[in-house]
Structure 1
Amino acid sequence: MQTYISSLPPRRPAAAPRSLSLLGSTGSIGTQALEVVRAHPDRLRVAALAAGRNAELLAQQAAEFRPSLLCVMDKETADRLRPLLPGGYAPDILTGEEGCVEAARLEDADMVLSSIVGAAGLRPTHAAVAAGKMVALANKESLVLAGHLVREMCAETGATILPVDSEHNALFQAAAFEEARALRRLVLTASGGPFRHKEASFLENVTPKQALNHPNWSMGAKISIDSATLMNKGLEVIEACHLFGVDMDRVGVVVHPQSIVHSLAEFVDGSMLAHMGAPDMRVAIAHCLCFPERVGTGVEPVDLAKLGGLTFEEPRWDDFPCLRLAREAYAASRSHPIVLNAANEVAVELFLAGRLPFLGIPGLIDSCLAAHDGRAAEDLESILDLDREARQRARELARAGEAA
């Protein structure tokens, strides 16, 4: 298969732990990544931590792992952070997007974990790839917005991307080293979210609290809502196309409510390879951070006899149209997924604020895609410009809907 895996990282002796720059260290992925680091100090050390505005948690992380560089969202957060740090420990503290970019290309970092939520993770991911880093990618939006650009830069710099998303990590483990001609199809599994069996009429009055209550995974607010609408799976389909170099018609989706089979690779001989395990992100995180070695994670294997059975079903395409909208956006042009993602991020923000109904999320996205003129966005700045314009358009359309 054609992937971003340009070469295998060398096996490292215990005396030379891999140094990490963790972008989004106070989020769900970041905190779990630090659990892996904590369990394997002989293999991993922290060179930089970048977070948003959670100065208190970042200070605790910094005190434990003592990175040379910290980054926060703004000066106000930096001012709150400094007095929280232990005496005698004086790391460099940077702020804003530029600070995060510096953390991404830090010379002392062997690997960058990109786990900033949303399109905000694109520029730091781009910087890490431009610097030729190994990138453990948990920011799918980087590929949704700029997959072609990231691929080209990986080829130029020798950067390596390892997928942290559980579905893509599963496919990487199952199929990345198979011959491309042997692969028939990639199949992403979806839990179906909290409303898998709810009637369409129920979806009209869904509250944020209900949508945030995922049955299997513990995730941040944004990805939890995306899982409830199935947009998360739509973005993952686009990510898989870029990551593994396959066309959209070779990426399928099946609902698997137990979340034990994380994805499957289907081959021309009729066989399928599935990656199975408990729904715990530490497995995929550790696989990437310590690749190509496997290490203990503290996650217990699944007791198949106790589980009893695994079931699979078709997605409800009509009741959860975000999955269809994502596929249509990818097929339309390179720039349509940029608009799709921007509109979705705005829609989720408005839904969580109580200003947009649950079914208004796909409605707003559909309206934004219909208004897009299809103009190209080929380089980083034009991609980010279109992202900003699409967000403004989404907010304008939402305000117009509120006024009506």
Structure 2
Amino acid sequence: MLELRFDPVRLPPRCNELRHEVREFLAAEVAAGTFDPRDPESGSSTAKEFSKRVGARGWIGMTWPKQYGGQERSFLERYVVTEEMRVANAPTRHFFVADRQSGPTLIRYASEAIKRKILPAIVRGEICFCIGMSEPNSGSDLFAASTKATRVDHGWRINGTKIWTSNAHNSDYMIGLFRTSASTRENRRHGLTSFLVNMKAPGVSCNPIGQMSGQKEFNEVVFDDVIIPDDHTIGEIDGAWKQATSELAYERSGPERFLETYGALSELVDAVGTQPPATVVAGIGRLVAELHTLRRMSVSVAGMLEAGREPVVEAAIVKDVGTVWEQGLPHRARDLAALVAHETGPNVTFDEKLAFYLKIAPKVTIQGGTTEILRGIIARGLGLR
């Protein structure tokens, strides 16, 4: 049975210095009109150039080896950069997935030629990655994946579909999980292999999926006789489940897993004014205390990653609890705002912002694994199933 550990980790002084540096950078970007921190949808047209400026500051791939363009800085320093970017609603989507998990996966499992070609370009903020895991009819159950990679001369032919693939329509590459052999009775995890897919290759098509918020960040990705070269195989043939499990520790534990609707809390504080009723003060205090707890858990996982551990179960807990919190936040903010009498009528700005967060809240469970799958991972890690 696994012993859960969320060791108390304090951010060292160098992290506080970095935080001030990031805040100054973001303030300058806001002043230049790159994005509006009160509008989560702003910055989409400037994301690529913003990515290059972040790369120039050394804040992409900052934990990676210097031989591939990284800075060999700590996971705790990377945590600070991520936290400041997310709270500010900075347009990070062009580089974030590559920085968080695709790059580390390539560092561990890709050929040297691929590392030297791809990793420096990620560090410079030039290329965008997506993750191909979920499939129709199997969702977050990765071991039920059926999109097939068949051996051909000098490579593999891929046919099938991935779904809920974030930002695939803007991506240059995907690291995808594909079926290369049938699973066995003894091991249903057998038979999956990871490949690096050029999203501009013939036979790859993206169909954006509309959401209530008007966003189209999710995609259905269809592979029709897509040829993958041999050197784009990532890691062990038929053994990618080990890699995928490790990769998800990076994906599920960061502050992005509980800060997506943070703006609802910020807008609430502004909307209730300087002298809200005691019940509202207590409600906001409770929300802040819960947020602080999530943050401490997430920082602890960052500390484990820095120590070379693979906190898969702890990361799943952060994602599960964080999802529940950020999904409920807009509803709780609405209820607290209703307790404040607005003499001048409704707060239009708050109502508009809250409407957006209410619409995006349902989709956060899809990102990084559904609640049901996460709780299965946690139960298995604790020896309960």
Q: TM-score if structure 2 supplies the norm length?
A: 0.29
Q: TM-score if structure 1 supplies the norm length?
A: 0.28
